[in-house]
Amino acid sequence: MNDVFSPVRLGALALRNRIVMAPMTRDRAGPHDEPTDLMVEYYRQRASAGLIVTEGTQPSPAGKGYWRTPGIHSAEQVAGWRKVAEAVHAEGGLLSMQLMHVGRASVRANKAPDADTVAPSAIPCPDPIPGPDGVPVPTQMPRALATDEIPGVIAEYVAAARNAREAGMDAVELHCASGYLPMQFLSSNSNQRTDAYGGSVKNRIRFVVEALEALAGAISADRVGLRICPGVPFNGMADADPAETYAELLRAVDHLGLAYCHLIHIPNKGFDSLELVRANWSGPVIENCGLTLDKAQDVIAQEQAEAVSFGFAYIANPDLVERFRTGAPLAKGDRDTFYTGHGDDARGYTDYPPAC
């Protein structure tokens, strides 16, 4: 019987264990949104995970929403990520870069002065976003993308994926959750378009389907994953029927042979999202959200998912796999240092010691 310590294959990725480090924004990038040497050490420390999914990384200046998040659209950023990949690979680890275009979920102060803020429709994100000083401020009104602009946004994702592979990343993950651009297209309340990308479920999933098809064509489908969270209200999401939307989406991309579906498994009224994924998706699944080691072992043993991901636990436990394996207690993270916004601030970032 398999457990979290057994190997598994997700597409082209041969994981040495089934424990995945979930993507977590930490606001430690450099002044040009480049990965710093401190970020190299942060990821190196956690390389015993079967797979590390990086923090959300913007594919373009317009895709940035938060202060000091890294990008993958400049030579300097590619060079920084190459150092990360080399450090993780030297420890025997694997990396999937999460491509995160936030769309309307941004504030002007966090972005380059000439960076646009775009969305499916000119509807602002109702949730405030932290500015450079960490204080949440109201978001701005986004500009609705014209139909003929959408291929260009997808091309930015493709260029970012190619850059990620050039930097040594083993795969990419399209962030389709948390109320960011792909989810803004999926959700009926944030997508009020009347063209081929809005209205019916088939039209609202079109952007994500085309983006995944383009990514698969650019770097191979078995090196592309997607992350979803049906029904999450974060950043103003309120789809009329998330079960229908995500079932349609999963069926539409299932034939591509993608590496995995990374599910944030939250409670939903009327449906269970893990059951929904399993009914409409034949590929590997990574389950995330609120897992303990015991729960994760049950998920794997019962073949509900091929792998499990942990976020919060990885902040204070860089050696999480070893702690799980030996039964060592887990350290607690310092919430005051989760997001410092300083690229050279090791506090609560790389200064958590291993268990032994």
Helices (H), the chain: 37-45, 75-90, 150-166, 181-186, 201-204, 206-219, 242-253, 273-280, 293-301, 312-316, 320-326
180 is catalytic: yes
Structure tokens at 225: 């994953």
Structure tokens at 299: 């998920």
CA distance 92 to 129: 36
Q: What is the CA radius of gyration of the chain?
A: 19
Contacts of 329 (CB under 8 A, 6+ apart): 323, 355
Q: Is the dihedral of CA 229, 210, 155, 173 positive or negative?
A: positive
Contacts of 17 (CB under 8 A, 6+ apart): 4, 5, 6, 7, 8, 48, 49, 50, 321
The amino acid occupying position 58 is: Q
- Candidates 28, 128, 13; CA nearest to 68 is 28
Could you say which of 180, 260, 339, 349 is catalytic?
Answer: 180
Please give the helix or strand (H or E) that residue 348 lies within, else none.
none
Which phi-psi region, left, alpha or beta, contains residue 235 (left: φ > 0; alpha: ψ -120 to 50)?
left
Helices 37-45 and 75-90: crossing angle, nearest 10°? 30
Residue positions annotated with a catalytic role = 180
